[in-house]
């Protein structure tokens, strides 16, 4: 399903912000039809100068939630090498400080154009953000498939 959606995007990467309302509705409906649960950590506030700090806090909470659900591998969309290394450090810190001793939890990065499953995360995050901005229709379509955690970043 995601590969089919991806074929209609010229960059070969599904990106919520590049979609119009009709494409967003279609993407949300398609994703809602796929079994599975999408975990989202929604951190607020996220001031522009503290985005990486807020991201690290959200990522740390996501790792704990994923571990609790039996997940041991997380694939994130690659950004810049320095930022990706920060994500790896965050996950290592969580593994050491918040997960049981000996826990195996791995994080890796790949370009969004190389892993179509990253589109599910983009659609889910986009729908949750739209909901926060007053457009609940996309989030409502995915409601049964989303497990979201709200986090005060203190940033």
Q: How far apart are CA 155 and CA 29, in angstroms?
A: 34
Q: How far apart are CA 49 and CA 133, in angstroms?
A: 21
Q: How far apart are CA 120 and CA 6, in angstroms?
A: 11
Q: How far apart are CA 90 and CA 18, in angstroms?
A: 29
Per DSSP, the three-state class of 113 is coil
For the full predicted model, state whether its pTM sits above 0.85: yes
Pair of tokens at residue 110: 């790949």
Per DSSP, the three-state class of 115 is coil
Sequential pLDDT tens for the chain (155 residues) = 887 777 766 566 788 998 999 999 999 999 999 999 999 999 999 999 999 999 999 999 999 999 999 999 999 999 999 999 999 999 999 999 999 999 999 999 999 888 889 999 999 999 999 999 999 999 999 999 999 999 999 99
């Amino acid at each position: 399903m995601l590969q089919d959606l991806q074929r209609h995007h010229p960059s070969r990467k599904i990106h919520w912000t590049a979609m119009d309302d009709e494409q967003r509705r279609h993407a949300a409906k398609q994703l809602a039809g796929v079994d599975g649960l999408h975990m989202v950590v929604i951190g607020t506030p996220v001031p522009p100068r503290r985005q990486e700090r807020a991201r690290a806090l959200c990522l740390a909470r996501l790792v704990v939630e994923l571990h609790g659900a039996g997940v041991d591998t997380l694939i994130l969309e690659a950004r810049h090498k320095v930022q990706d290394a920060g994500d790896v450090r965050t996950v290592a810190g969580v593994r050491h400080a918040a997960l049981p001793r000996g826990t195996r939890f791995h994080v890796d990065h790949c370009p969004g154009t190389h892993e179509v499953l990253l589109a599910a995360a983009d659609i889910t995050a986009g729908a949750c953000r739209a909901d926060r901005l007053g457009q609940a229709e996309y989030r409502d379509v995915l409601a049964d498939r989303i497990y979201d955690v709200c986090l005060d970043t203190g940033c």
